[in-house]
């Protein structure tokens, strides 16, 4: 198994709008691929459920970061991709490590906003895709309407590779337009037969359309097509593979995951059309010692090691698992690797391959493969692993801002420490989740990308860490910044008997729009000894994290340290840190500080008749609709922006406005200054709360 060549690996993700059937499809893929080992043992519907239950009991679920399985002599690594918009960052992260996507659509709902967002992300990362139209058994299922939507809304150049047999509840088979055979289903079995005569003309027409589309990208096929020369199955498959790899077309397949139909043919398509790591080609990074230099590596075992740690999970059975994708070279268990992000060496312990029903220990992971490392202490998500003599630094994974805060505390005071440990573990696993301790209110605050994100964190504390917690209402994560430059000199002095404390700094704060937090040291002539400079930076960053105006983290500020003074005996790191913290508190009012609020991009799909009300409602929420276009017949797609703080309870408001027929999705866009009146009331509220506590 370990030596399956790279061409036979498929690193794929299954992506879908929530509820379209991603989970069910993944489960069935694992079931049917697993079943090839167990044929004869399981032959009824109950078996699927048994298999899944067993899987859960062993602590492996289909939500594992990556699961390996096999189909027709190929290795498929199924990489978990989250379904909810709150996790677009997770989607981006998984797009980095997968080579191809199966896009699952619901045959009733068609293309929904979240699929659109992910589709465009996949475009950005140039990830080849095939489509699976699921739920063909449901009332209202419409295969061709969904294909039309893919073309109109996604520009997918979607081409039917199959024709369903029977509608809705009567859906019981699939015609493969390449083999021109019909496949029907009884329980878990699939039977091949001739195409029913009533469907033959339609199948022939669709086959012709498919070939014509593919011929646009394949000369051989075009020539045969034009000259009426017989076209073989491999002719079509080769052309289709090329067209998928180059993002020219999206082949469309169909089925009902729930009813076990269409999964085997989908697996064939994954093997036939989605890329192997070789097709993905070279990967580039920077020289870790010399960032100007770009380095590229081929997906080959003979190249130096390049690997990316893309997810860390904690598992009750094996502890911390660090999931890595190896791009080039080979990663051996028990060897030392160099973490070029952290600039440190680390020993790789065991390497595990995660399967649906077991974990197997392997001795190495080769170029193109994905697996879990056990016992990594220093490596965190996004780090590059390589050889010490051949360093490379891959682009780190981008994380958007957290926009919601939630207070959290243990039910039992004595669990405080355990909660702290559990939260920092979760933050390590998920860098888009943050924890901080607010001094003035003595509260632990967790921050995430949306309500669901925080709810899931709270659930995980309960289920995985067995911690009962109280959580507050989610609140908008404001930010603080400054709008005016100011200079200040601050002296920190406590010299009354014994060893005293002394530090003095002269510094300037500057607005730093779009450039984040910066610390610049311009001290000359040793007025502050070298060893104390990091303490100044530390004090500055502590304040930046806690904020000064209303207790929110600060953004876009540059701190320039240009002078200072010290005392040969009384100066210490502590003194310089305190000096900076107190100095910052004094200067802040000279800098015209300001509160910023998160603005969200919103997209609403609504039937025409509710459009006016939906727009009016967004306007009342200080938002604006900037763009509207026809979505499908009788409905509109509205795009605009709206402040997050006005959006609590929006889902139910929109339901009321539209009798449940409109849908929306939202994601973080940027921070802008809060209107003055709102800013004042927030600061005032904060002051009151603090006074109550004191």
Give how far Cα 593 sits from Cα of 130, 509, 518, 532, Å.
Answer: 50, 11, 17, 28
**Beta carbon nearer to ligand GDP, 107 or 461:** 107
Going by C-alpha positions, the residue among 685, 684, 680, 689 that lies closest to residue 441 is 689
Q: Which of 11, 81, 256, 571 binds ligand GDP (CB under 6 A)?
A: 256
> How near is the Cβ of 450 to ligand GDP at its closest, in Å?
16
Give how far Cα 99 sits from Cα of 263, 311, 338, 373, 507, Å.
Answer: 20, 16, 25, 21, 49
x/- site string to ligand GDP, residues 424 to 463, per CB under 6 A? ----------------------------------------
Going by C-alpha positions, the residue among 82, 122, 99 that lies closest to residue 311 is 82
DSSP string, 122-155: HHHTT--EEEEEE-TTSTT--HHHHHHHHHHHH-
**Beta carbon nearer to ligand GDP, 83 or 275:** 83
**Beta carbon nearer to ligand GDP, 24 or 447:** 24
The single residue listed with the structure tokens 């489960």 is: 27
x/- site string to ligand GDP, residues 13 to 42, per CB under 6 A? ---x-xxxxxxx------------------
DSSP string, 432-497: T-EEEEETTTTEEEEEESSHHHHHHHHHHHHHTT---EEE---EE--EEEE-S-EEEEEEEEE-SS
CA distance 212 to 217: 9
Q: Which of 134, 381, 580, 665 binds ligand GDP (CB under 6 A)?
A: 134
Categorise residue 422: left if φ over 0, alpha if ψ from -120 to 50, beta otherwise: alpha
> How many residues sit close enough to ligand GDP to count as binding (CB under 6 A)?
16
CA distance 687 to 404: 21
Going by C-alpha positions, the residue among 401, 489, 341, 550 that lies closest to residue 89 is 401
**Beta carbon nearer to ligand GDP, 79 or 523:** 79
Q: Which stretch binds ligand GDP (CB under 6 A): 254-262, 283-291, 642-650, 651-659?
A: 254-262
**Beta carbon nearer to ligand GDP, 98 or 103:** 103
Query: Is there binding between residue 135 and ligand GDP (CB under 6 A)?
Result: yes
Q: State the CB neighbour count (10 A cutoff) for residue 643.
A: 18
Q: Which stretch binds ligand GDP (CB under 6 A): 130-138, 309-317, 419-427, 663-671?
A: 130-138
Query: Is there binding between residue 648 and ligand GDP (CB under 6 A)?
Result: no
User: Strand, helix or coil at 564?
Assistant: strand
> How near is the Cβ of 336 to ligand GDP at its closest, in Å?
40
Helices assigned H by DSSP within 547-649: 573-587, 611-620
**Beta carbon nearer to ligand GDP, 17 or 241:** 17
x/- site string to ligand GDP, residues 384 to 403, per CB under 6 A? --------------------
**Beta carbon nearer to ligand GDP, 16 or 265:** 16
> How near is the Cβ of 136 to ligand GDP at its closest, in Å?
7
Query: Is there binding between residue 83 and ligand GDP (CB under 6 A)?
Result: yes
Q: Which of 80, 137, 218, 369 binds ligand GDP (CB under 6 A)?
A: 137
Q: Which stretch binds ligand GDP (CB under 6 A): 30-38, 125-133, 253-261, 387-395?
A: 253-261
Q: Which of 72, 138, 300, 491 binds ligand GDP (CB under 6 A)?
A: 138
Q: Which stretch binds ligand GDP (CB under 6 A): 36-44, 133-141, 199-207, 285-293?
A: 133-141
Q: How far apart are the first and last CA of the chain?
A: 65
The single residue listed with the structure tokens 């048994």 is: 50
> How near is the Cβ of 104 to ligand GDP at its closest, in Å?
7
CA distance 125 to 694: 52
**Beta carbon nearer to ligand GDP, 138 or 460:** 138
Structural contact between residues 440 and 504, judged by C-beta atoms closer than 8 angstroms: no
Q: Which stretch binds ligand GDP (CB under 6 A): 131-139, 210-218, 224-232, 276-284?
A: 131-139
User: Strand, helix or coil at 67?
Assistant: strand
> How near is the Cβ of 19 to ligand GDP at its closest, in Å?
4
**Beta carbon nearer to ligand GDP, 106 or 376:** 106
**Beta carbon nearer to ligand GDP, 18 or 438:** 18
CA distance 337 to 54: 36
- In the window 257-286, what residues touch ligand GDP (CB under 6 A)? 257-258
**Beta carbon nearer to ligand GDP, 256 or 340:** 256
> How near is the Cβ of 131 to ligand GDP at its closest, in Å?
14
Long-range contacts of 613-620 (CB under 8 A, 24+ apart): 613/657, 613/658, 614/638, 614/654, 614/657, 614/658, 614/662, 617/653, 617/654, 617/657, 618/642
Q: Which residues bind ligand GDP (CB under 6 A)?
A: 16, 18-24, 83, 134-135, 137-138, 256-258
């Amino acid at each position: 198994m370990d030596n399956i060549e790279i061409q036979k690996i498929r690193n794929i993700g299954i992506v879908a709008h929530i509820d379209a059937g991603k989970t069910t499809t993944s489960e069935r893929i694992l079931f049917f691929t697993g079943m090839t080992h167990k044929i004869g043992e399981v032959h009824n519907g109950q078996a699927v459920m048994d298999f899944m239950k067993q899987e859960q009991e062993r602590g492996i679920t289909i939500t594992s970061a990556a699961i390996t399985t096999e189909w027709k002599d190929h290795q498929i690594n199924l990489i978990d991709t989250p379904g909810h918009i709150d996790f677009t960052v997770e989607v981006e992260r998984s797009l980095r490590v997968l080579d191809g996507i199966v896009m699952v659509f619901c045959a009733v709902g068609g293309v929904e906003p979240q699929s659109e967002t992910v589709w465009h992300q996949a475009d950005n990362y140039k990830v080849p895709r095939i489509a699976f139209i699921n739920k063909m058994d449901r009332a209202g299922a419409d295969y061709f309407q969904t294909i039309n939507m893919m073309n109109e809304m996604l520009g997918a150049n979607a081409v039917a590779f199959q024709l369903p047999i029977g509608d809705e509840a009567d859906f019981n088979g699939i015609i493969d337009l390449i083999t021109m055979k019909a496949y029907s289903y009884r329980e878990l079995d699939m039977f091949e037969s001739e195409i029913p005569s009533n469907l033959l003309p339609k199948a022939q027409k669709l086959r012709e359309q498919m070939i014509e589309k593919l011929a646009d990208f394949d000369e051989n096929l075009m020539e045969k097509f034009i000259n009426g020369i017989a076209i073989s199955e491999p002719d079509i498959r080769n052309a289709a593979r090329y067209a998928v790899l180059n993002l020219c077309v999206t082949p469309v397949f169909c089925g009902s995951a729930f009813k076990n139909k269409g999964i085997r043919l989908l697996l064939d398509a994954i093997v036939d059309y989605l890329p192997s790591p070789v097709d993905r080609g070279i990967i580039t990074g920077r020289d870790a010692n010399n960032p100007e230099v770009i380095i590229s590596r081929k997906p080959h075992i003979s190249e130096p090691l390049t690997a990316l740690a893309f997810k860390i999970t904690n598992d009750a059975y094996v502890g911390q698992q660090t999931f890595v994708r190896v791009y080039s070279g080979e990663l051996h268990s028990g060897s030392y690797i160099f973490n070029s992000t952290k600039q440190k060496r680390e020993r790789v312990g065991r390497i595990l391959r995660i399967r649906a029903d077991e974990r197997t220990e392997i001795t190495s992971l080769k170029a193109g493969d994905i697996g879990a490392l056990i016992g990594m202490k220093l490596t965190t998500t996004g780090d590059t692993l390589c050889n010490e003599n051949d360093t490379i630094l891959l682009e780190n994974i981008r994380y958007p801002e957290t926009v919601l805060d939630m207070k959290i505390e243990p039910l039992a005071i004595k669990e405080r420490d355990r909660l702290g440990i559990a939260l920092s573990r979760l933050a390590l696993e998920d860098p888009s989740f943050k924890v901080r301790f607010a001094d003035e209110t003595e509260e632990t605050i967790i921050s995430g990308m949306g309500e669901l994100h925080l709810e899931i964190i709270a659930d995980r504390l309960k289920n995985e860490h067995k911690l009962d917690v109280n959580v507050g209402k989610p609140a908008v994560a404001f930010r603080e910044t400054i709008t005016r430059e100011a200079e200040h000199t601050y002296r920190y002095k406590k010299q009354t008997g014994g060893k005293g404390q002394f530090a003095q700094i002269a510094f300037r704060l500057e607005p730093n729009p779009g450039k984040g937090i910066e610390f610049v040291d311009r001290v000359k002539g040793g007025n502050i000894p070298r060893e104390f400079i990091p303490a100044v930076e530390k004090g500055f960053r502590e304040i930046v994290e806690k904020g000064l105006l209303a207790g929110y983290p600060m953004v876009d500020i540059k701190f320039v340290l240009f002078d200072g003074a010290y005392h040969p005996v009384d100066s210490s790191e502590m003194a310089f840190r305190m000096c900076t913290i107190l100095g910052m508190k004094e200067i802040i009012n000279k800098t015209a500080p300001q509160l910023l609020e998160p603005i969200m991009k919103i997209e609403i799909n609504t039937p025409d008749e509710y459009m006016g009300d939906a727009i009016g409602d967004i306007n009342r929420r200080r938002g604006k609709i900037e763009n509207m276009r026809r979505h499908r017949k009788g409905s509109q797609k509205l795009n605009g922006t709206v402040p997050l703080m006005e959006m609590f309870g929006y889902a139910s408001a929109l339901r009321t406005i539209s009798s449940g027929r409109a849908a929306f999705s939202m994601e973080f866009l940027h921070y802008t200054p809060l209107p003055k009146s709102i800013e004042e009331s927030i600061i005032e509220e904060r002051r009151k709360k603090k006074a109550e506590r004191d």
